[in-house]
Structure 1
Amino acid sequence: MIAASWANSRIVIPLDLVLSQPSDKNEDHRVVFARKRRERMRARLLKATFEVYTGDRGINDPAVIDDVIKAAEVSRATFYKYFTSLEAAAAELGHELADEMVLELDTIQSPITDPLKRASVGIQFFLWRAVDEPNWGAFVARSKHVVSETSAFMRRVTGDIDSGARTGELNFARLDAAVTFNNGALMNGIGAISNGVDRPAEFIEALTNMILIGFGGKREDVIDVQKWGSEFLRKNAPSHYPWWRTHR
C-alpha cells in the first residue's frame, strides 16, 4: 500500500492500483502503458470522490455522480468504466481507509498487550488524527463502509474487544453490543472533531474515559490508562506519522 495526499488527508490506494509492475518482463509495453493509464484514472476518480464527500455540503445537498465527474474532469462514460455507481466508488474508498487505519495503528500499537492500554491508544490515535486531518475525519465519520462487517477495521476492533473480554480486562454482556457502542462513540467523536470542537484535548480525554468505563473499566484505572495512552502517543507518534503535529 502507498499513501497519496488528497485534500490535506492521506488516502491509501493499493500498490497495484498506482505503481503496478508487469509480472512478466516480456509483457508488451503497450499493455503495461494501458494498465498504468487505467490505474491513474481509477486513483483520480477516487480522489474526486473523496473531495466531493468531504466538501462543505448541506444535509439537503447529497453528493451525486455529476459532482465527481466534474471534480475529476472526466465524462460520465469514463466514470462508469470503473465504477457501477457513486456508492461503489465510496465503498472502495471506505474499505481502503479501513485498511489504512489498521495498518497505521499496527505500526505503533503492536508492542502493547494490555487490552485497556491498547484501547486507550487506539481511541486517542484516531481522534487526534481527526484533529490534524479534518477531511479524513469527515469521510471516515460519514462512511458506513469503514465500519462494515467485512472491513479490516471492524475485524480488528472486534478481535481486540473479544480478546479483552477473554482475559477479564474488559467486562460487558455482549460482544456485538460492545462493538456497536465503541464504533458509535468513536465515529461520532471523529465527526464532531472534524466539524470543530472547543478544547479538543479535553474532548478526547473525556470521550476516551467514557468509552473505557463503558467497557467495564474502573474509573480510577481508566483515568491512569487514558493518561498513559496520551503520553505513549506523544512520545511515539511524531516519528511514525507525518500528520501528527509535534506541538501537541
Structure 2
Amino acid sequence: MRQKLLFAALDVYLISDISKPPVIDDIVRQAGVARGTFYKYFSSLEEILRALGQMLAKDMISTYERLFNIVNNPLTKLAAGPLLSLTHAAMQPVKVTFTAQVDYVDFLSRSTHAREVINHSLQEAQNAGVIQMPSLDCVTDMIIGTTVEGARRLMHTTDDCPSYIRQLTCLILKGCGVSAADAQKAVDEAQAQIHRHAHTLPWWNDET
C-alpha cells in the first residue's frame, strides 16, 4: 500500500497544473483509498514527497549501475553519475522536483547501497590516479551539491540544456583535479554510453 501511495503521488504531480500543487485528497483519490489509509503510512504531504524523492534517487542509482558497471574507465564512470542525473532533470523536470528535495547526507547515511556505489566510484578513480581526493566526504558533497543545484536550474530552463549539462559535468571533474582534456573525454564516453542504452530508459526522449 505504501508503494501504491507513492506511485499515486507521482501520477498526480505529473498531471497537475504547476500553478495548483496537489493536496493529500488528490493522492488518495488517485490511489483509490481512504484518507485514513494515507495517514497509516505518511504523516504529511511533505513526508510522502521526501519518500518519493528517495525512491527516485534509488532508481537513478540502479540505472547508473546497470549502464556503467560494465565500463572499465573509472573517470568515465565518475562523469556518468552527474551526467545521467542532469540529463534526467532536463528531460523530466517534474520527477526531479522530488529528487532535488532529498537530504542526501541523511539519505546516504541510511542508504548503505547508495553510499557504497558512490564511494566505490570515487575510490576506484583515486586508486587509478585520475582524481585528487583529500577527503571522501568533501568530494562527495561537492559532486552531489553541484548536481542537485544543476538539476534545480534545469527544472526552470530549456535554454541549451545539453551544453549546460556537459559544461557542469566537466567542472565537477575539474573540481576533482582532472584536466580539461581528460574531463571532456570522460564526458564524451559517458554520454555515448547513455545514448547507447537510451532505449532502455523510460524517461528518455529525443527532443532534449
Aligned-pair CA distance for 1:53: 6.9
Match of 1:186 in 2: 147
Q: Following the alignment from structure 2 to structure 1, what is the Cα–Cα distance between the partners of residues 102 and 8?
A: 15
* Aligned length in residues: 201
Kindly indicate whether residue 201 of structure 2 is the aligned counterpart of residue 241 of structure 1.
yes
Question: What's 1:224 paired with?
Answer: 185
Aligned equivalent of 1:79: 38
As a proportion of its length, which structure holds more helix? 2
What CA distance in whole angstroms lies between the structure 2 residues aligned with 1:147 and 1:192?
Answer: 23
- 1:115 corresponds, among 50, 71, 74, to 74
With over 3 angstroms needed to count, the CA separation of the structure-2 counterparts of 1:221 and 1:244, relative to structure 1, is: same
Q: Which amino acid aligns with 2:56?
A: L
For residue 170 of structure 1, report the CA deviation from its aligned partner.
Answer: 1.3
Equivalent residue in structure 1 for 2:52, among 74, 77, 93: 93
| TM-score (normalised: structure 1) | 0.70
Post-superposition offset of 1:115: 1.7
Matches within 5 A, 1:193-204: 193-204=154-165
The match for 2:173 is 212
| 1:94–1:145 contact (8 Å) kept in structure 2 | no
Shift of 1:130: 1.2
**Contact 1:48-1:72 within 8 A present in 2 as well:** yes
Residue of 67, 79, 86 corresponding to 2:23: 67
- In 2 relative to 1, CA 116–183 (structure 1 residues): closer, same or farther, beyond 3 Å? same
Contact 1:178/1:215 (CA < 8 Å) preserved in 2? yes
Distance 2:119 2:157 in 1: 29
Q: CA deviation at 1:239?
A: 2.9
Cα–Cα, structure 1 residues 213 and 147, in superposed 2: closer, same or farther, change >3 Å?
Answer: farther
Q: In the superposition, relative to structure 1, how do residues 53 and 182 fare at CA in structure 2: closer, same or farther (>3 Å)?
A: farther
User: For the aligned residues, what is the CA RMSD?
Assistant: 2.7
Taking a change above 3 Å as real, the CA distance of residues 147 and 219 of structure 1, as seen in their structure-2 partners, is: farther
| Alpha-carbon distance in structure 2 between the residues aligned to 1:165 and 1:53 | 40
Match in the other structure for 2:127: 166
* 1:128-167 superposed matches below 5 A: 128-144=87-103, 148-149=107-108, 150-151=110-111, 152-167=113-128
Question: How far 1:85 moved relative to its partner?
Answer: 4.1
Structure number, greater radius of gyration: 1
In 2, Cα distance between equivalents of 1:72 and 1:136: 19
Structure showing the higher strand proportion among its residues: 1
Match of 2:117, SS? helix
TM-score, normalization: structure 2? 0.82
Query: Judging changes above 3 Å, is the alpha-carbon distance between structure 1 residues 49 and 147 closer, same or farther for their aligned structure 2 residues?
Result: farther
| Alpha-carbon separation, structure 1, partners of 2:58 and 2:105 | 9
In 1, distance between residues paired with 2:175 and 2:106? 19
